[in-house]
Structure 1
Amino acid sequence: MDYISLLVIAAIAISIFLGYKTGINTGLFSIGFAYLIGAFLLNMETKEIINTWPISIFFVILSVSLFYNFAVVNGTLEKLAMHLLYASRKFPQLILLVIYFAATLTAGLGAGYFTILAFFAPITLLLCKKTNTNSLLGAIAVNYGALAGANFMISASGIIFRGLIADTGLESQAFSDATYIFGATFIMPIVVIIGMMLLSNRGKDNKHLEIEKPEQYNKKQKINLYLIFSMIAIVLIFPILHNILPKNETIAFINSKLDIGLVAMIFSVIAFLFKLGDQKEVIARVPWGTLIMISGVGMLIQVAIKAGTIDLLASFVSTNIPKFLVPYVLALIAAAMSFFSSTLGVVTPALFPIIPEIAAATNLSTTLLFTATVVGAQSSSISPFSSGGSLILGSISGEEERNKMFPRLLFKAVPLCVCAALITTFILTIVI
């Protein structure tokens, strides 16, 4: 491996470390390293370096989050979540599944992982206390739900995965691969949660939920729900119809012209016209930090591709690791990286580009490797050093209780979720 490739790998690691240590956006460090290495070591033109900014992913995340922010600002998603919890008040023994499905549904409707976890984590811990349910299991359930919903093909994380897969040259299968990722990260937690429920409910008398009946949706919230479901129908129905009727020219034409970012922008304009939310607040809630992190790391990854680093990494994995272990190794590498960093901003932008070459060298399915990578990365997101765990800890009011939760997340939740991810990877190797 030449010294430039080693420098690029070091730059990625240093960017992650500095981002974690200083609290400064990792993407900003990545942009700096992309410029220094690209311009002065690879002799790239500055315009060429600037053009590595992933404009397509940036635009899609911007437009989709802009549209879904209306439902957050006007309380539509919060009210939907409370209605779901109220409907399940007579089944406290199923609280973990209720939390999971409520978080999945509302995250899938566009609120995204961080928003849902920040909203649901305090409610989850309170409900666990009221129903005599282990709070650690509640934390695992709500984290799984926020992840699964966000992984929906047209929700926040799912869109990012589609964009990253398309950037590897596999645009034609980006939607179907994202569907596999969503399916795996949706089904696996259900099995884990049911197992946790069976073990934790033995001999326990769960208390009934005491939740006041939520107010009905107001006019703006009803319109917002109609718009959300309409957009989901538009962007899903034509890809599905095209797969069913690939020779239908009309469906093929419409499907080729559909872009979720552009569709979401039209729906945002409609939402603004209906005055469903304050413009300044809706725009302010766009995840600018995530956009900078993903785009900045993306620039450094493009410089790594230019330097040949990605090819070298792919070659190392495919030639030094037995073929049958490759999916597990990718899952574990992703889990180790996500333990301290972001799946969306760091792990998948760094690992997805090497997957097509690994797949070609090992004759493994790219779909399998993409899915195993995401399953592995998200298994350690509940680490107290990562986004999920830190949000859960932040939602605990008492310092003593927070201090108790920290080691439980670190030494119980993370190993449990990583083991579940490896078992899921094994199943994926059979299914895909």
Structure 2
Amino acid sequence: MGIETLTIISVAALLLMFVINAKLPINMGILGFVAAFILATITGVTEDEIFGEFPVNLFIILTGVTYFFGILQDNGTIDLITASSLKLVKGRRMLIPWIMFLLELLLTSIGTQGTAAIIIVAPIALRLAHKIGFNQLGMSLMVAWGMVGGIFSPLNVMGIIVRGVVEESGISFNANTLYLLSTLFAVGLAFLTFLIFGGFKRRKADQTSEISEDNAELQAILNPTIEVTPYRIVSLLALGALITLGMVFEMNMGFAGLTLGLILALFNPARQKEIVSKIPWSIILMVSGIVTYVGVLEQIGVTDYITHLVSEVDNPLLAILVTCYIGGIISAFVSTTGFLGAVVPLLIPMLATGDIWVMGAVAAVCIASSIVDICPFSTTGAIFVANAQGEAKATFYNHLLKASIFIIAAGPLVAWIVYVAFF
């Protein structure tokens, strides 16, 4: 069987996985493992070689980090961080969109899964937007950009996946730089969003006026009562330790998370069964299956052939732009978490030449693949639609869909211009 035929079959199988996953409640990781086995059998790849492509390091990191933050979610530490952040508003209405952006950025930066953070912040943000008269779409975008900035933190599942995929190729990678680049891009998007939706056109009185104390509903939202307990204090110290160990000492985040999680578990062992059951095993399975499938594609030469085709575009810069659009368009309709494991490897041969700034190219593809998550067909977009206040769901859906189309068309290009074309 020729490489061209193998490539067509492999890509068709990958696309079919995404379609099945979008239409049926079947984990894409299972599809990935089965497809890897079938493809390996057809091409003569042994089972031991398939097992060799299983991302053991990535599995440990994802399990350890999500286990640790599952404990923080369960014991109320995440709620304590959220409550403390909301108090920064101090009654100033026009700070609220920025506090929502920063809260989402903070939660995802410290390791909260992107969708979970959206579930926490979106209902609060859209309810507050309705109360202060800020545009619902504008507030949704502010929260979404906070997620984009934080999910590529070295502590977040998305950042961990990208780091694992790139480092397994042998290319030097700096997780902190990716986080910085995505955060800077997100801040720029938030500034433009705030400007476009009239944040800076409010009367001075509206910008500085405080929310009256007799507005009980707003006060209740902005000042939630979360008790500071010894367990939560220890959890915050453990969070600080995890950040230090991972970002300063570059310790394996999975083992660090498991170790610190075990220490916290001793404070309340009765909750462990439920916490472990809430580890996002479906995501871990999905990522493991897709990465294993991509590994088999590398074994049989399909990945090299595809990257060769992409590299045949006039120049590497244009090839990376094509990759950005591939990531942006497909991620609007499928899981970004799973798709990143498949699209980032396309960059590797182009980055290996040394002619392209590695971190800029990776950041551009990651940003292009994540800013489209506001699409109402995605989980994030659906959460925004479900929590819209003050206008019909159908109307808000149409507004969000139009914004998504614009972002899908322009977002990958902007990310490419900012981090690839000028470097």
Normalised TM-score (structure 1): 0.88
Q: 1:401 to 1:23 in 2, by over 3 A?
A: farther
Q: 2:54 is matched with which residue?
A: 53
CA distance in 2: counterparts of 1:211 and 1:418, whole angstroms: 40
SS in 2 for 1:278: helix
Give the letter for the 1:138 counterpart: M
Matches within 5 A, 1:13-412: 13-39=15-41, 41-170=42-171, 173-174=172-173, 176=174, 178-199=175-196, 200-201=198-199, 202-203=201-202, 205=206, 208-209=210-211, 210-212=218-220, 213-215=223-225, 216-239=227-250, 258-275=251-268, 278-346=271-339, 348-360=340-352, 363-396=355-388, 401-412=392-403
Q: Which amino acid aligns with 2:420?
A: T
> Shift of the alpha carbon at 1:430?
5.7
CA distance in 2, matches of 1:360, 1:67: 35
Aligned-residue CA RMSD in angstroms? Answer: 2.2
1:91, CA displacement in angstroms?
Answer: 2.2
The range that moved more, 184-193 or 286-295, is 184-193
> Per-residue deviation at 1:184?
2.1
More displaced, 122-131 or 355-364?
355-364
* Cα 1:190/1:414, change in 2 over 3 Å: farther
TM superposition score normalised by structure 2: 0.90
Deviation at 1:349, TM superposition (A): 1.2
Q: Is the 8 A contact 1:136 1:408 kept in 2?
A: yes
Amino acid corresponding to residue 297 of structure 1 in structure 2: I
Contact 1:338 1:380 in 2 (8 A): yes
Determine the C-alpha separation between the residues in 2 that align with 1:330 and 1:104.
26
Alpha-carbon distance between aligned partners in 1 of 2:293 and 2:101, rounded to the nearest angstrom:
36
| C-alpha spacing 1:23/1:396, structure 2 compared with 1 (3 Å) | farther
Q: Mean Cα displacement is larger for which, 200-209 or 123-132? A: 200-209
Q: How many residues align?
A: 407
Do the aligned partners of residues 337 and 90 (structure 1) sit closer, same or farther apart at CA in structure 2, a change above 3 Å counting?
A: same
- 1:135 and 1:57 mapped to 2: Cα distance? 37
Deviations 1:114-166 (A, max 9, x none): 11011111111101111111111111111221232221112222111111111
* Structure-2 separation of matches of 1:353 and 1:11: 17
Structure 1 residue 234: deviation in Å?
Answer: 2.1
CA contact (8 A) 1:104 1:145 kept: yes
CA distance 1:95–1:321, shift in 2 (3 Å): farther
C-alpha distance in 1, partners of 2:378/2:297? 25
Measure how far apart 1:203 and its partner are.
Answer: 4.5
Q: Distance in 1 between matches of 2:234 and 2:245?
A: 16
* 1:414–1:382 Cα change, 3 Å: farther
Paired residues of 1:136 and 1:413 also in contact (CA < 8 A): no
Percent identity (aligned): 21
How many Å separate the matches in 1 of 2:269 and 2:399?
A: 41
Q: Answer whether contact 1:79 1:217 (CA < 8 A) is retained.
A: yes
1:211-250 CA distances to partner (integer Å, 9 max, x unpaired)? 23333422211111111012211222224xxxxxxxxxxx
String of CA shifts for 1:352-378, please: whole Å, max 9, x gaps: 222121234683233222111101101
CA distance in 2, matches of 1:44, 1:316: 24
C-alpha contact (below 8 Å) 1:380/1:418 kept by paired residues: no
Q: Deviations over 1:48-90 (max 9, x none)?
A: 3233221211111001110111111111112211221122142
CA distance in 2, matches of 1:221, 1:361: 48
Aligned-residue offset at 1:290: 0.5
Distance change >3 Å, CA 189–CA 276, structure 1 → 2:
farther
Larger mean Cα displacement after TM superposition, 120-129 or 178-187: 178-187
Q: Does 2:390 align with 1:428?
A: no
Find the aligned partners of 2:55 and 2:120 in 1 and give their Cα distance.
Answer: 30
Q: Deviations over 1:390-423 (max 9, x none)?
A: 232233489x732222221211145247534432
For residues 12 and 430 of structure 1, do their structure 2 counterparts lie closer, same or farther at Cα, with a shift above 3 Å needed?
A: closer
1:125 maps to amino acid: L
- Consecutive unaligned residues in structure 2, runs of 5 or more: 212-217
Structure 1 unaligned spans of 5+? 240-257
Tell me if the contact between 2:149 and 2:185 (Cα under 8 Å) persists in the aligned partners: no
Q: Does 1:419 align with 2:410?
A: yes
Matched AA of 1:73: D
Query: Does 60-69 or 183-192 show the bigger shift?
Result: 183-192
Specify whether residues 223 and 95 from structure 1 end up closer, same or farther in structure 2 by C-alpha distance, changes over 3 A only: same
